[in-house]
C-alpha cells in the first residue's frame, strides 16, 4: 500500500516544503500590509511621498518602499545622536561644571555644555566654593566655555526659529536651557501690547505691536514677530486681535554668556561673595585646583528626555560633546595635549557620529548627510534603511541594556506620542515605541510596534512632501478627526497591529 506523500518525502524535501510554506506566509502578509499602506496613502494630499521599511524580529522584510530615498529626518535624527552618545560617552557619563582657582589666584567657572544646568545649580556651586574658603574673588571671574567652539546654531536651520526656545542654542556656557518664559497682553483696539518678563531674568523685551479689531486682524493677516538684538534685547512687532488670556512666549537666549554672567553676579551678591573685577570669557589655568563642582544626572536621564520630549538643545549639546570626546580620544588626536585639545562643534560632531556608529555597531549610513544632532537643520538627509539600522541596534541592545528602548515615546502614554493623533486610542495605545520627527512637510516615525499576537515589528516610516491648501487647513482645523495624518496612522498602524506574521 502506498504511503502518504508527506511520509515518503526525504528529510531535506520536508524542510523544503516548510521553507516554501514559510515564504508563502510571509509573502501573503507582506501583500496584506502593502494593500493597507496603499489605502492609507490614498488619504494623504497630492505630492506626499512615503518611504518605509518593516521587518519582523527575525529580520525578515515584510515591506519596503522607497527605502533608499533621501529625505529630511527631522527629529528622528536624534536616534543617530542617542546611539552615538551611548557608545562614546557611556551610561556613567555626567556633565561637570566646576569652580577652579589657580596658584596665582585666577578664579574660573568651567562649563561643559550641560543643557540642563539651572540657576539653582550655580547658586549651590558658589555656596560650595564659599564653604570651602572662597570669600572674595580677587580680580576677574573667568567663564570658560572652551569645550565647544564654532557656530551656536547649525547650518541650514531656519533663521526664524533661532528666537524661540525649541531652537535655543546649544552652547558650552549655558543656563536654564537658554530659555526665558514670559507673556504678552493685548489691550483695546489701537493700543500697544504689553510684555511681561520676570524681573529676575536679565534680558529686556520691548513691544511696538498693536492690538486691532478681530476683523482688522483678519484683513491684515496679523502676526506677532520677535527679533533679537545685541545684549539680549528683543523686540516684538506686528499686530494681534484682542485676546482674553495672556499669550505665553518662550524666548531663546541668543547671547548665553552675557545672560549667565548677569545671573552669576546676582547669585554671588545674594550670598555675600564679592567679585572685585569683571566677569569675562576666557580659559581656566591648566593646573587650577577645583574648589567646587556640580555634577549632572547620568547620561540615561538626558537620553530619555531628549527622545521622549524631542529636546533639541540636549541633542545638539550631546552631539558636540560626542565630537569633543571622540576627537580627543587616543588615536583620533595623537598630538592633543592638555594645552591643545580639540573643542566640540557641529563639524566634528557629524564626523564622530558617523565613525562611532560604524565602529561600534557596523552601521554604515552611506550617503546620508549629518549636519546636527537635533534634526533642526534642513541640510540633514537620511533614508529609511539608515534609520532602520539604528532601530535594529536598539533592539539588539534591549535585552542587556534597555536604556535606549525605554527612552522612546510610547503611543498614548508619554513624550511626543502621548497625544499623537491616530495613535492614542485602543488598540494602538501603548503598543508603539518610536521616535517622532516633524518639520514643515515632514512626518516621520521610527521604532517598534507590538502586534495583536504579541510579536514585535521594527519599522521606519518617513512621509515628506506633505502640504495642505489653506482651505484644507481650515476644514481640518474644524474637523481634526479627518486630518490626513490621523487617518493615515489609524489605517496603517491598525492594519499592522492586526497583522500576524509567522513567528
Q: Which of 36, 112, 261, 310 is catalytic?
A: 310
Length of the chain: 503
Q: How far apart are CA 189 and CA 208, in angstroms?
A: 14
380: cell is 540633514
- Cα separations (Å) of 63 from 196, 222, 451, 485? 53, 46, 15, 20
- Cα separations (Å) of 144 from 101, 147, 243? 12, 8, 44
Is 78 designated active site? yes
Contact at 8 Å (CB) between 458 and 58? no
Is 31 designated active site? no
Q: How far apart are CA 60 and CA 359, in angstroms?
A: 25
Handedness of CA 415, 167, 368, 149 (dihedral sign): negative
Q: How far apart are CA 134 and CA 449, in angstroms?
A: 56
256 Cβ contact list (under 8 Å, min separation 6): 152, 169, 171, 173, 174, 175, 178
- Cα separations (Å) of 161 from 231, 247, 349? 19, 18, 22
Q: How far apart are CA 452 and CA 501, in angstroms?
A: 10
Q: How far apart are CA 52 and CA 75, in angstroms?
A: 16
Q: Which of 36, 75, 207, 374 is catalytic?
A: 75
Q: Which of 32, 36, 48, 78 is catalytic?
A: 78
Q: How far apart are CA 148 and CA 328, in angstroms?
A: 13
Is 75 designated active site? yes
Q: How far apart are CA 264 and CA 72, in angstroms?
A: 40
The string of DSSP letters for 337-348 reads -TTSPPPB-HHH
Nearest to 61 by CA among 458, 492, 494, 498: 458
**At how many degrees (to 10) do helices 484-498 and 11-41 cross?**
160
435: cell is 521616535
CA angle 86, 337, 147 (to 5 degrees): 50
Contact at 8 Å (CB) between 356 and 322? yes
Catalytic positions are: 75, 78, 310
Amino acid at each position: 500500500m502506498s504511503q502518504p506523500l508527506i511520509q515518503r518525502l526525504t528529510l531535506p524535501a520536508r524542510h523544503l516544503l516548510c521553507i516554501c510554506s514559510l515564504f508563502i506566509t510571509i509573502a501573503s502578509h507582506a501583500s496584506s500590509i502593502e494593500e493597507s499602506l496603499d489605502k492609507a496613502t490614498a488619504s494623504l494630499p497630492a505630492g506626499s511621498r512615503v518611504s518605509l521599511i518593516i521587518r519582523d524580529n527575525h529580520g525578515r522584510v515584510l515591506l519596503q518602499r522607497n527605502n533608499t530615498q533621501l529625505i529630511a529626518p527631522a527629529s528622528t535624527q536624534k536616534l543617530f545622536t542617542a546611539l552615538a552618545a551611548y557608545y562614546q560617552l557611556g551610561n556613567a557619563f555626567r556633565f561637570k561644571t566646576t569652580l577652579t582657582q589657580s596658584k596665582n589666584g585666577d578664579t574660573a567657572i568651567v562649563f561643559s555644555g550641560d543643557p540642563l544646568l539651572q540657576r539653582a545649580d550655580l547658586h549651590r556651586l558658589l555656596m560650595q566654593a564659599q564653604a570651602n574658603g572662597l570669600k572674595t574673588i580677587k580680580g576677574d571671574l573667568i567663564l570658560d566655555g572652551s569645550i565647544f567652539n564654532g557656530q551656536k546654531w547649525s547650518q541650514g536651520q531656519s533663521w526664524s526659529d533661532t528666537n524661540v526656545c525649541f531652537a535655543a542654542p546649544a552652547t558650552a556656557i549655558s543656563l536654564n536651557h537658554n530659555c526665558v518664559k514670559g507673556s504678552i497682553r493685548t489691550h483695546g483696539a489701537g493700543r500697544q501690547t504689553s510684555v511681561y518678563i520676570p524681573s529676575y531674568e536679565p534680558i529686556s523685551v520691548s513691544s511696538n505691536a498693536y492690538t486691532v479689531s478681530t476683523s482688522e486682524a483678519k484683513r491684515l493677516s496679523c502676526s506677532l514677530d520677535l527679533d533679537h538684538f545685541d545684549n539680549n534685547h528683543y523686540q516684538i512687532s506686528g499686530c494681534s486681535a484682542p485676546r482674553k488670556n495672556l499669550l505665553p512666549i518662550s524666548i531663546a537666549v541668543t547671547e548665553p554668556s552675557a545672560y549667565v554672567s548677569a545671573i552669576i553676579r546676582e547669585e554671588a551678591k545674594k550670598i555675600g561673595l564679592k567679585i572685585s573685577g569683571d566677569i569675562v570669557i576666557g580659559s581656566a589655568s591648566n593646573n587650577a585646583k577645583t574648589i567646587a563642582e556640580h555634577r549632572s544626572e547620568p547620561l540615561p536621564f538626558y537620553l530619555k528626555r531628549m527622545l521622549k520630549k524631542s529636546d533639541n538643545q540636549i541633542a545638539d549639546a550631546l552631539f558636540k560633546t560626542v565630537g569633543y570626546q571622540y576627537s580627543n580620544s587616543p588615536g583620533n588626536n595623537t598630538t592633543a595635549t592638555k594645552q591643545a585639545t580639540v573643542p566640540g562643534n557641529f563639524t566634528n560632531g557629524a564626523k564622530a557620529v558617523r565613525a562611532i556608529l560604524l565602529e561600534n555597531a557596523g552601521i554604515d549610513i552611506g550617503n546620508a548627510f549629518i549636519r546636527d544632532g537635533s534634526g533642526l537643520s534642513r541640510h540633514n538627509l537620511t533614508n529609511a534603511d539608515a534609520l532602520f539600522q539604528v532601530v535594529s541596534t536598539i533592539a539588539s541592545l534591549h535585552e542587556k541594556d534597555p536604556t535606549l528602548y525605554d527612552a522612546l515615546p510610547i503611543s498614548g502614554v508619554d513624550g511626543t506620542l502621548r497625544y499623537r493623533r491616530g495613535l492614542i486610542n485602543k488598540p494602538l495605545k501603548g503598543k508603539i515605541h518610536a521616535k517622532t520627527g516633524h518639520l514643515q512637510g515632514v512626518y516621520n516615525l521610527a521604532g517598534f510596534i507590538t502586534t495583536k499576537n504579541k510579536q514585535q515589528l521594527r519599522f521606519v516610516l518617513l512621509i515628506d512632501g506633505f502640504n495642505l491648501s489653506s482651505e484644507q487647513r481650515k476644514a481640518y482645523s474644524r474637523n481634526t478627526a479627518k486630518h490626513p495624518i490621523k487617518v493615515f496612522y489609524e489605517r496603517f498602524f491598525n492594519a499592522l497591529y492586526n497583522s500576524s506574521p509567522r513567528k
